[in-house]
Homo-oligomer: A and B are copies of this chain.
Amino acid sequence: MSTAIQPTDAARPSEGPSLAAEIGLIDHHCHGLVPQTVERAVFETMISESFVAAPKGTTHFDAPVGLSLRAVCPPLLDLDPFCAPEDYMARRAELGGPEVNRRFLQAAGLERMLIDTGFRGDDIMTPPQMHEVSGIPAHEVVRIEAVAEEVARRGTSGEGFAAAFAAELEARCREAVGLKSILGYRGGFAIDPTPPSATEVTEAAGRWLARGEASGRHRMDDPVLLRHGLWVGAELARSRGLPIQFHVGFGDRDLRLHLNDPTLLSDYLQAMDDIGVDILLLHCYPFHRNAGYLAEVFPNVYFDIGVVMNYTGAMSGRILEEALELAPFTKQLYSSDAFGVAEFYYMQSRLFRQHLARILDDWIARGHCNAREAERIVRMIATDNVRRIYPSFD
């Protein structure tokens, strides 16, 4: 892919920090693409975590994420940077969803993708479809809470819930490479870190199922069942060698940010370390320093700043710098957390590559690093750490 980084050595173009411009990234947390062409009004709601139209008289393009999109995406649609949003959307429609998706996915320079299938699965592409559009392997990550909601929708009882959930989660994970929890969206991390008793689960399931039937919507927000899900997931993760991803921090209005500080999870993280389960903290802004701290002190904790670089655009290098402050280089991962919008798979990749190379170049210039170590750091974050903590991708 094209970036501002130029190889400094013609004989070995990928040496040192400039490897960041070329290496195939493993995007260890993203979602499926929306297959079809979308209207501007819909597109705007997809580039804002408000999920609604911008206030009257304004547009979501007038945000860091919109400006960054206008800076780097138009050339991939044969347009000039900073062309008007209406021209961009017209050209996008003209090319059509499949062609736009293909262009951005392929320009992202990914080696493989790990896809969370638990959010709005009916609106977006499946892992096999993602493989088709991108030409690279696409693996599934199973969202624990979504499985519980599916079990409820199919119909079960308070007494039957625990067994049905365990069986379904086990079945769904047979081909999966990891688990995912959205506890951060369902009350946050100030939880009792221990597993609930079987009796507590049965009672909580009875109440929760009844509430879901009454409202016609099964939304997993029961504290006892959320804890239960984490522990059933943990046991499965332990026995299958799967890591568990956690949504942390930056996200939409459904969460309460002050309850998304991942250090609130410390006791659960320790419990997972005790049984040998790796935990991957996703996004983390504005708690990325706290995530880096956890990655330093807990052997089983990893983190990324997925989606955050897209949303902080011109300032995103700052976030990556802070993510590189404290945590071991062996504990950081790459992800885009892209959902639906093709541009997002590309933008995070491009920003990550440019800023990582620039930061490492700066470290070398100041005597804090050398080319060989910089190259190793790039490989660790881009692919090696993912390969070590996920089950074999073969």
Contacts and interface: CB of A to CB of B under 8 A. Distances in A.
A256 B252 contact: no
Given A256-B266, A286-B289, A60 B369 contact: no
Among A58, A294, A298, A326, the most chain B Cβ lie within 10 Å of the Cβ of A326
Contacts of A257: 263, 266, 290, 293-294
B253 A48 contact: no
Contact of A50 (B55, B252, B299): B299
A82 interface: yes
Interface residues of A, number: 72
Number of copies: 3
A376 B263 contact: no
A326 B299 contact: no
A106 interface: no
Contacts of A316: 325
A112 B325 CA distance: 29
Interface of A: 4, 48-50, 52, 54-55, 57-58, 60, 62-64, 67-68, 70-72, 81-82, 250, 252-253, 256-258, 261, 263-264, 266-267, 270, 285-286, 289-290, 293-294, 296-300, 311-316, 318-319, 321-322, 324-330, 363, 366-370, 372-373, 376-377, 380, 388
Query: Top 5 nearest A-B pairs by Cβ distance?
Result: A314-B368, A63-B328, A257-B263, A286-B289, A58-B330
22 contacts: A49-B297, A50-B299, A54-B328, A55-B299, A55-B388, A57-B388, A58-B388, A60-B328, A62-B328, A62-B329, A62-B377, A64-B324, A64-B326, A67-B369, A250-B293, A256-B263, A256-B266, A257-B290, A258-B290, A285-B289, A285-B326, A315-B321
